[in-house]
Amino acid sequence: MSLGYQCIVLHAHLPYIRHPEYDSFLEENWLFEAITETYVPLIRALERLRDAGIEGCLTLSLSPTLLTMLRDPFLQARYLAHMDRLQQLAAREVRRTQGDAAFAPLARLYGDRLEETVTVFETGCQRDLVAAFARLQADGVVELITTAATHGYLPLLRTEPAAVRAQLLVGAQTFQALVGVPARGVWLPECGYYPGLEGLLEEAGYGYFFVDAHGLLNATPRPYYGLSAPVVCPNGVAAFGRDPESSRRVWSREEGYPGDFQYRDFYRDVGFDLDFDYVRPFILDGRTRIHTGFKYYRITGPGDHKLPYDPAEAARRVTAHADDFVARSRRNVAGQGARSTPAPLIVSPYDAELLGHWWFEGPQWLEAVIRRMADAPDAVALTTPSAYLARHSSLQSATPSASSWGDGGYNAFWLNPGNDWIYPQLHDAARRMNVLARQHGDAAPGSLPYRAVQQAGRSLLLAQASDWAFIMKSETAKEYARRRTRDHLARFNYLEQCVLTGAIDERRLQALEVMDQLFPALDPAVFG
């Protein structure tokens, strides 16, 4: 009998970044990097855990936009072309670093990793990572869940309940269509919750969701067990609270493991370090320097001086940090005292892309943590939300408070002077989409009016993605985020007028359908 449980949750999400109108596009690299550095390593780790007989070790949220992109033959082909270029760079780097005791082994390491990744992607997974994750769920290794259709930030869409409903229903329908089974739970985008949302979650078929620590601790009534047990909303949907201490261990560059000076430095990359003419064939359109993934330095310290990366030393730190994480979990559970029910639970959610992409050693660390916990289940046992709820049917009834996991704990990151201009337009478009769906959504499926209403719905959903407001605040690709918001709203406005006037240009409609190839079975009724 274990003293308590550990639930590790990874949220994998990227906005819809498909641009067939260009030969190459910088933001598509977000997907290619995530496949190479996070998703394929995660699949390989889960396969090894399965082969070791470890079950129920992880909960993984796959967003509908990510699922769609991973299944897209166009993006699959572009990914392989991207990997071919990187393999060419690897061969060049092996020649360039020959004889360099520090860098030559790293160049060979990267070349070997790229070759293995292509083999796993093309041969092992037949280009279909979604099917690979679905098999792992069928094998009992992972529990797959999803999120809202385009990761819309629901607390700021709630003025139009139909918009929130559409985000949730389309998300659930897309997951079932692509994965083959319904999702039992949902990752609320940015952990954004408001009281009453659970009713729409129930309608979409979800049995549980996650909130940040203060969302659970400030629940009404106050939860008797704090963060160490979920609560059940009055309608029966369960809410799990994020553990802040274990979150900091991984999230924080200052306090957490990823900032260890032995780990690989993310920012030093040959795409920026080497002569421009040398890297020209491997950067964006031969003009813009970008990250290539060939990084030869470790964090070293807070300054600009960097020492060569040593994978063996980094592996030793991975072992130490896995041991530390497990020990802290055991102390956390032991400190809560013995009780029979509900057993103490630690919920540790992270962005999946943090592991592998930002924190290069992250997938190794995760696998090490899972193996250590599986080896000593009498202390802290691994679990998933569904498994925990099946074991503990009598939980406190309470309603979480409004909250998010963003900076400040509420809405400020998605509503501020840099992005507040989007919401009046999003709310207005949502109201008009509701009218459009009710008045014209019953057109014959496949007809031009029906397709135009469908495409208007896709444009609205894409405009609502939380990513655009987030990027405008973080300023990483501000102009791209602004353009995406404006473009999708402009497409919605155009399509609405086409439907209302009956003047639908089939060629222009088809062009928009080619641009945004997601939610093919979208039912306009979800907006009504």
Per-residue pLDDT tens over the stretch 212-222: 999 999 999 99
Whether 323 maps to a domain, the answer reads no
Write out pLDDT tens, residues 275-285. Answer: 999 999 998 88
Q: Which pLDDT value is given to residue 321? A: 98
Compute CA 151 distance to the chain's CA centroid, rounded to the nearest angstrom.
9
In the three-class reduction of DSSP (H, G, I as helix; E, B as strand; rest coil), residue 220 is classed as: strand
Whether 98 maps to a domain, the answer reads no
Q: Does the pLDDT at position 201 exceed 90?
A: yes
In the three-class reduction of DSSP (H, G, I as helix; E, B as strand; rest coil), residue 393 is classed as: coil
Compute CA 120 distance to the chain's CA centroid, rounded to the nearest angstrom.
21
Which of these is catalytic: 33, 37, 190, 212? 190
Instruction: Identify whether residues 365 and 458 lie together within a single domain.
Output: no
Segment 427-453 shows an average pLDDT of 96
What is the phi-psi region of residue 300: left when phi exceeds 0, alpha when psi lies from -120 to 50, beta otherwise?
left
Q: Which long-range contacts (CB under 8 A, 24 or more apart) does 521-525 make?
A: 521/173, 521/177, 522/170, 522/454, 522/457, 522/458, 523/441, 524/436, 524/437, 524/440, 524/441, 524/450, 524/453, 524/454, 524/457, 525/437, 525/441
Domain of residue 378, residue span: 4-71+128-255+338-391
Whether 274 maps to a domain, the answer reads no
- Single pTM value for the model: 0.96
Residue 210 half-sphere exposure toward CB, CA atoms < 13 A: 31
Candidates 164, 252, 185; CA nearest to 387 is 185
Q: Is 190 a catalytic residue?
A: yes
Mean pLDDT score across all residues of the chain: 95
Q: Is 378 a catalytic residue?
A: no
Instruction: Identify whether residues 342 and 467 lie together within a single domain.
Output: no
Strand 231-232 relative to strand 238-241, pairing: antiparallel
Q: Letter for the amino acid at 500?
A: L
| Domain harbouring 446, CATH code | 1.20.1430.10
Task: Please tell me what DSSP assigns to residue 297.
Answer: B
Instruction: Identify whether residues 57 and 189 lie together within a single domain.
Output: yes
- In this structure, the dihedral spanned by the alpha carbons of residues 85, 91, 96 and 100, taken in order and rounded to 10 degrees, is 130
Whether 498 maps to a domain, the answer reads yes
Instruction: Identify whether residues 61 and 162 lie together within a single domain.
Output: yes
What is the phi-psi region of residue 356: left when phi exceeds 0, alpha when psi lies from -120 to 50, beta otherwise?
left
Angle at 178 between CA 177 and CA 179, to 5 degrees: 100
Instruction: Identify whether residues 375 and 488 lie together within a single domain.
Output: no
Instruction: Identify whether residues 379 and 489 lie together within a single domain.
Output: no
Q: How far apart are CA 463 and CA 150, in angstroms?
A: 9
Instruction: Identify whether residues 382 and 494 lie together within a single domain.
Output: no
Segment 22-38 shows an average pLDDT of 92
Instruction: Identify whether residues 387 and 446 lie together within a single domain.
Output: no
Sign of CA dihedral 163, 169, 171, 173: negative
Instruction: Identify whether residues 40 and 147 lie together within a single domain.
Output: yes
Which of these is catalytic: 47, 313, 351, 442? 351
Q: Does the pLDDT at position 339 exceed 70?
A: no
Write out pLDDT tens, residues 289-324. Answer: 999 999 999 999 998 899 999 999 999 999 999 999
Residue 382 near residue 215 (C-beta atoms within 8 A): no
Q: Which pLDDT value is given to residue 253? A: 77
Q: Where are the alpha helices (DSSP H) in 392-527?
A: 422-440, 448-463, 466-474, 478-501, 506-515
Q: What is the 3-state secondary structure (H, E, C) of 96-152?
A: HCCCCCCCHHHHHHHHHHHHHHHHHHHHHCCCCHHHHHHHHHHCCCEEEEEECCCCE
Q: Which pLDDT value is given to residue 474? A: 80
Q: How far apart are CA 47 and CA 363, in angstroms?
A: 13
Q: Which pLDDT value is given to residue 24? A: 82
| Domain harbouring 382, CATH code | 3.20.110.10
- Split at pLDDT 50, 70, 90, the class of 1 is low
Instruction: Identify whether residues 366 and 509 lie together within a single domain.
Output: no
Instruction: Identify whether residues 376 and 497 lie together within a single domain.
Output: no
Domain tally, the chain: 2
Segment 26-35 shows an average pLDDT of 94
Q: What share of the chain is helix, strand, coil (3-state, %, to 5)?
A: 55, 10, 35
Q: Which pLDDT value is given to residue 338? A: 62
- Split at pLDDT 50, 70, 90, the class of 454 is very high
Q: What percent of the chain has pLDDT over 70?
A: 99
Residue 24 half-sphere exposure toward CB, CA atoms < 13 A: 18
Compute CA 18 distance to the chain's CA centroid, rounded to the nearest angstrom.
17
Whether 268 maps to a domain, the answer reads no
